[in-house]
Amino acid sequence: MLKMGEEKKEKLFNKKENGWNSVDENKKQEIFSLSKNYMEFLNKAKTEREFIKEARKLADNNGFRDIIEFETLKPGDKVYFINRDKSMYLAIIGEESIEKGMHIIGSHVDSPRLDLKPNPLYEDTGFAYFKTHYYGGIKKYQWTTIPLAIHGVIVKANGEKIEVNIGEDENDPIFTITDLLPHLAQEQMEKKLKDGIGGEDLNLLIGSIPYNDEKATEKVKLNILDILNKKYDITEIDLISSEIELVPAFRARSLGFDESMVAAYGQDDKVCAYTSLIAMMELKNVKNTAVCILSDKEEIGSMGNTGMESHMFDFFISEILNKLNVNCPNLLDKVFCFSKMLSSDVDAGFDPIYSSVSDKTNAGFLGNGIALVKYTGVRGKSGGSDANAEYVAWVRNVLEKNNIRYQLTELGKVDIGGGGTIAYILANKGTDVIDCGVPVLSMHAPYEVTSKYDIYSAYQTYKAFWKE
């Protein structure tokens, strides 16, 4: 009788199993090799601008060309459009009429960080600092006393653009934000964790040698400006037209004795951006037009002309319709209404140390494969994008017939918190969308953790979705 019960269980239960259990040595090498490339890419692409720059190189090397260069388009053509160096859309034209809809995968390449304020530079008691304004949802205390690198662009009034990247090379200096010693932190330690470090306390320490002139005031600031002037040919006012981001100076590394995980900054959402980009590079002919979105500004609500709410994406698809010579009134709306999308953004991984915030039956586990999140939102699914059962079934079928391990998850316990992605933006245009990404530990922290197994699952999922 016991045996019958086991057989029944085998047949009836939705088994949740650690993916590594079914990985042989060859598969493991494949999984590790993809993650190695991913980590190398991350080290070159910590900001949205750097990610798009690297993505363009990959695309150019794989037969993609700027859509501006095409007079007309035909099936098999590979095109991209780069939006203000911060977001990018790529497409491979499908064999099917585009009216039957596109297969879209959309991620974001911006990550939580500290931006410089417009007037960042000041001196106080022998030190020079940059003032910052944090970007995205961070726990501020995590950003003190770690090595930070300065990445970004300074654009002079004449349009000249200077790229800045200091703190990544072994020979570069790094920068840091100081914190109070425990001996004198009694008052600070009594505060709530969220108030321990204030937004205005996040000032970056950048120098301490005074300029060698007895009569000058603000000598440390002057010395810093003198260094910047010699290095970049800029003056203080040029900083007002800059976009400088402070990111952790850590490199992406394998994590654990078994090297099963990746620890790196910005994996939300560069893990999904990278795996979808790589999957697209390997695609040959597709039935439905395959579209890859690398969006910006997701972490602050997807607003602005590089965010997903912008009409720039509609412009790109309209250009495809124009150059296919099929465009007509309302065709853009029709194409969106018949399209399918994976909103490829990370999921909260179950963390046993903080198990109380998750419903274990519905949590995403590291190593269990790609996580599908049917709906997002807070409280009673408020503000959420909820995938239709019919579409979930369609996606399931793609995964199951390609033997890709997946898990259906929810972000934390009901009423504990919640979140969202770019899913609703395309869903509002009429597209079928489900969230589909890699579970992450310590999301939004300077160092985030993912499983190499899930990274590989994401890559397999995105490839299978486009090939469908």
Chain residues binding Mn ion by CB under 5 A are 268-269, 345
Query: Tokens in use for 342?
Result: 């994976």
Nearest of 378, 290, 307, 360 to residue 102 by alpha carbon: 290
CB of 138 to Mn ion, least distance (A): 10
* Chain residue at closest Cβ approach to Mn ion: 269
> For Mn ion, which is the closer residue by CB, 120 or 384?
384
> For Mn ion, which is the closer residue by CB, 123 or 296?
296
CB of 307 to Mn ion, least distance (A): 13
CB of 279 to Mn ion, least distance (A): 18
CB of 244 to Mn ion, least distance (A): 21
CB of 387 to Mn ion, least distance (A): 17
Nearest of 116, 437, 445, 446 to residue 251 by alpha carbon: 446
Q: Is 1 exposed, middle or buried (0-12, 13-18, 19+ CB in 10 A)?
A: exposed
- In angstroms, what CA-CA distances link 197 with 180, 201, 202, 231, 302? 10, 6, 8, 33, 27
* 3-state secondary structure string across 236-288: HHHHHHEEEEEEECCCCEEECCCCCEEEECCHHHHHHHHHHHHHHHCCCCCCC
* Euclidean distance between CA atoms 389 and 371, whole angstroms: 16
> For Mn ion, which is the closer residue by CB, 130 or 143?
143
> For Mn ion, which is the closer residue by CB, 245 or 345?
345
> For Mn ion, which is the closer residue by CB, 268 or 319?
268
- Strand order through the sheet with 161-166: 161-166, 148-155, 242-248, 113-124, 127-135, 203-207
CB of 136 to Mn ion, least distance (A): 6
> For Mn ion, which is the closer residue by CB, 238 or 268?
268
